[in-house]
Amino acid sequence: MADRTPLELERFLPYRLSILSNRVSQAIAREYQDRFDLSMTEWRVMAVLARFDGDGISASEVAGYTEMDKVAVSRALAGLVAAKRVVRRAHDGDKRRSVLRLTAAGWKIHDTVAPLAREHERTLLGQLDADDRRALVRILDKLAPV
Instruction: Tell me the fold of 38-143.
Output: Arc Repressor Mutant, subunit A (1.10.10)
pLDDT tens-digit profile of 87-128?
A: 998 767 666 678 999 999 999 999 999 999 999 899 999 999
Pair 33, 39: CB distance under 8 Å: yes
Q: Where are the domains of the chain?
A: 38-143
Tell me, what DSSP letter sits at residue 93?
A: S
Question: Alpha-carbon distance 103 to 60, whole Å?
Answer: 19
Start-to-end CA span in the chain (Å): 46
The rounded distance, in Å, linking the Cα atoms of 52 and 134 is 27
Read off the pLDDT of residues 29-45 as tens digits, 9 standing for 90 and up: 888 899 999 999 999 99
